[in-house]
Amino acid sequence: MAETYDLTIIGTGPGGYVCAIRAAQLGMKVAVVEKREYHGGTCLNVGCIPSKALLHASEMFEEAGHDFGALGIKISKPKLDLKAMMGHRQETVEANVQGVGFLLKKNKIDTVHGTGKITGPGKVEVVLADGGAQTIETKNIVIATGSDVATLPGIEIDEKTIVSSTGALELGKVPETLVVVGAGVIGLELGSVWRRLGSNVIVVEFLDRILPGMDGETAKTFMRSLKKQGMTFKLGKKVTGAAKRGKALEISVEPAKGGDAETISADVMLVAIGRIPYTSGLGLEEAGVALDERGRVKIDNHYATNVAGIYAIGDVVEGPMLAHKAEDEGLALAELLAGKAGHVNYDVIPGVVYTMPEVAVVGKTEEELKDAGVAYNVGKFPFTANGRARAMRKMDGQIKILADAKTDRVLGVHMIGASVGEMIHEAAVLMEFGGSAEDLMRTCHAHPTMSEAVREAALAVDKRAIHM
Ligand code: FAD
Ligand code: NAI
């Protein structure tokens, strides 16, 4: 008789594999089903990890080409070896996905390679990658199938000239002109990579701003930095077509509100207009699992769907499509299934854009506080007034802290600057403990560090910054 698992997870991205490991730690018998060759999902295979490998390498290339002279280091113009840079990306991915495979094994989690489908209560049927099929009997099922690229109607992604993020991570040569559709996180990160490597990057964004949902002033300040670096923005515009003329693309761009079209020639177009939940082929309709109005698996606050024994986490459910959000949901669900108090605080999920400068945010934006009628104080501190930032010539950016006007509780922190993706966590910890700007300003910060700017911004909430 087939073995019955306590838990079977479909998809081994950050949501699925973390849930599996925690469940195994808590004594459950766990199986995972993955249709990709390697574990780690979008994030490790074609998302977070390869993009950060290229962001780092291209940043080093740009620094070597433009910034070393000012530090007294004379070198000749650096040469790009794109093949070797892609090799670095691939090595990074391989090390990470193998790491996940090792962790699953170490935790005695059974892995089934193939495409999973829910065929009844406690039943997952897998079309195996190397042929044949297998039925898994299980007490509980977790849908952790992630998301897929959103496409533009009438525009076919061939991953060569019209690419999604996946193709943009693997271009064989630096495009002379790259048109990026969508000024979201993917567009700005991957646009930055190719601009640093020599492309003329034109970003076409439907809205009249970049990074929708982020604090408005922060997004505006950040856009100024990107423009200074040479990125071009066409805001309030949409791409309505792309025709191949020989090796080039003729891209039609129209004002979002209607009006005359213009044509832009480019070698490559990156479509980065968001991602959609991945639910196809899972048998959800037959199993009676309800979706919400945006096609996401509908869950309650314990990640349970409307069908007993079926749960869902990560990109396939509501909330920000972020790897750490998926991981935290995986942890929380495993704990809940083990009868413990699993919980995710959705008010304190940091977001980072890994460009240079980086953008790092946590909590409420000014717009959200205004809409909610919450009175708040603002404290800001620029990196131009921070000694360490000057020593490193990384003065672009600022820290902004939003604190409740009555209680001084920190409600939101918005950072632009080098390494702020690491610095945001001091704000996250403070906010988890319901801390105030005063708590932050009274905490001794080592000198000279970039983090002193966080303390100065906290002092500025009370209009008493020292170095400004
Ligand atoms: P996924 O990682 O998408 O994993 C789902 C897995 O399920 C996949 O491996 C898929 O093959 C598998 N699957 C689907 N259906 C089936 C089936 N029927 N049977 C078997 N297996 C199945 N987030 C960040 O937080 N930081 C970043 O820096 C970042 N960078 C990104 C860069 C790019 C270019 C992209 C595209 C995304 C990035 N993200 C980033 C987002 C991040 O990748 C996702 O939020 C995260 O991967 C979601 O995790 P998940 O476990 O929900 O799903
Ligand atoms: P996104 O939602 O961040 O941005 C999409 C952008 O495209 C928006 O600005 C939107 O207004 C615009 N847009 C939509 N339709 C358009 C159209 N027809 N024409 C022009 N512009 C249009 O989505 P993105 O960048 O594709 O990223 C997908 C997900 O991946 C995000 O949810 C993000 O959280 C995640 N991600 C996270 C990263 C990180 O944490 N550093 C890095 C990369 C991706």
- The CATH number of whichever domain residue 313 belongs to comes to 3.50.50.60
Are 24 and 114 in a shared domain? yes
Q: Please work out whether the CB of residue 381 comes within 6 Å of at least one atom of ligand 1.
A: no
Q: Ligand 2, atom 43: nearest CA belongs to which residue? A: 186
Question: d(Cα 78, Cα 84) in Å, to the nearest integer?
Answer: 14
Specify the ligand 1 atom closest to the Cα of 315: 52
Query: Per-residue pLDDT averaged across 64-80, rounded?
Result: 97
Ligand in nearest proximity to the CA of 34: 1
Question: d(Cα 225, Cα 417) in Å, to the nearest integer?
Answer: 10
What are the phi and psi torsion angles at 115 (to 5°)?
Answer: -100, 120
Are 135 and 38 in a shared domain? yes
- The CATH number of whichever domain residue 405 belongs to comes to 3.30.390.30
DSSP string, 313-337: -GGGSSS---HHHHHHHHHHHHHHH
Say how many Å lie between the CA of residue 69 and the centre of ligand 1.
40
Query: Per-residue pLDDT averaged across 385-414, rounded?
Result: 98
Question: d(Cα 130, Cα 125) in Å, to the nearest integer?
Answer: 15
End-to-end alpha carbon distance in the chain: 73
Are 263 and 318 in a shared domain? no
Q: Please work out whether the CB of residue 323 comes within 6 Å of at least one atom of ligand 1.
A: yes
* Nearest residue to 100 (alpha-carbon basis) of 35, 16, 24: 16
Specify the ligand 2 atom closest to the Cα of 353: 41
What are the phi and psi torsion angles at 192 (to 5°)?
Answer: -65, -40
Pocket of ligand 2 (CB under 6 A): 152, 181-187, 189, 204-207, 212, 238-239, 272-275, 320-322, 351-354
Which of 48, 159, 271 best tests ligand 1's pocket when mutated (most atoms within 8 Å of CB)?
48
Query: For residue range 20-59, what is the model confidence (pLDDT) as tens digits?
Result: 999 999 999 999 999 999 999 999 999 999 999 999 999 9
Are 369 and 454 in a shared domain? yes
Which residue in the block uniquely carries the two structure tokens 């699925």?
A: 16
Query: Per-residue pLDDT averaged across 241-262, rounded?
Result: 94
DSSP string, 60-110: HHHHHHHTTGGGT---PPP---HHHHHHHHHHHHHHHHHHHHHHHHHTT-E
Question: d(Cα 287, Cα 120) in Å, to the nearest integer?
Answer: 6
* Nearest residue to 185 (alpha-carbon basis) of 353, 329, 63: 353
Are 261 and 283 in a shared domain? no
Q: With the C-alpha atoms ordered 81, 82, 86, 92, is the resulting torsion angle positive or negative?
A: positive
Distances 127 to 17, 33, 281, 309 between C-alpha atoms, Å: 20, 10, 11, 22
Are 115 and 221 in a shared domain? no
Are 374 and 328 in a shared domain? no
Structure token pair of residue 206: 């439907």
Are 266 and 196 in a shared domain? yes
Say how many Å lie between the CA of residue 59 and the centre of ligand 2.
22
Range of the domain at 210: 162-273
155: in domain: no
Query: For residue range 91-118, what is the model confidence (pLDDT) as tens digits?
Result: 999 999 999 999 999 999 999 999 999 9
Are 11 and 144 in a shared domain? yes
Question: d(Cα 142, Cα 360) in Å, to the nearest integer?
Answer: 31
Q: Which residues pair with 32 in a beta bridge?
A: 9, 111
Contact 380, 399 (CB under 8 A): yes
343: in domain: no
Give the model's confidence band at 2: pLDDT under 50 very low, under 70 low, under 90 confident, else very high.
low
Say how many Å lie between the CA of residue 40 and the centre of ligand 1.
8
Are 389 and 422 in a shared domain? yes
> The whole model's pTM is what?
0.98
Are 411 and 327 in a shared domain? no
Are 297 and 415 in a shared domain? no
Say how many Å lie between the CA of residue 14 and the centre of ligand 1.
7
Ligand in nearest proximity to the CA of 323: 1
33: in domain: yes
- The residue ranges of DSSP E strands in 208-334, in sequence order, are 232-235, 237-245, 248-255, 262-266, 268-271, 275-277, 310-312
217: in domain: yes
Query: Per-residue pLDDT averaged across 165-173, rounded?
Result: 98
Query: For residue range 306-358, what is the model confidence (pLDDT) as tens digits?
Result: 999 999 999 999 999 999 999 999 999 999 999 999 999 999 999 999 999 99
What percentage of the chain exceeds 70 in pLDDT?
A: 100
Contact 333, 313 (CB under 8 A): yes
Q: With the C-alpha atoms ordered 221, 226, 230, 233, is the resulting torsion angle positive or negative?
A: negative
Give the model's confidence band at 1: pLDDT under 50 very low, under 70 low, under 90 confident, else very high.
very low
Say how many Å lie between the CA of residue 34 and the centre of ligand 1.
12
Residue 13 CB-half CA count within 13 A: 32
Contacts of 190 (CB under 8 A, 6+ apart): 51, 54, 165, 168, 169, 180, 270, 272
Specify the ligand 2 atom closest to the Cα of 239: 19
Q: Please work out whether the CB of residue 326 comes within 6 Å of at least one atom of ligand 1.
A: yes
Specify the ligand 2 atom closest to the Cα of 185: 25
Contacts of 148 (CB under 8 A, 6+ apart): 275, 276, 277, 278
Count CB atoms within 10 A of the CB of residue 347. Answer: 12
Question: d(Cα 120, Cα 301) in Å, to the nearest integer?
Answer: 23
342: in domain: no
Total domains in the fold of the chain: 3
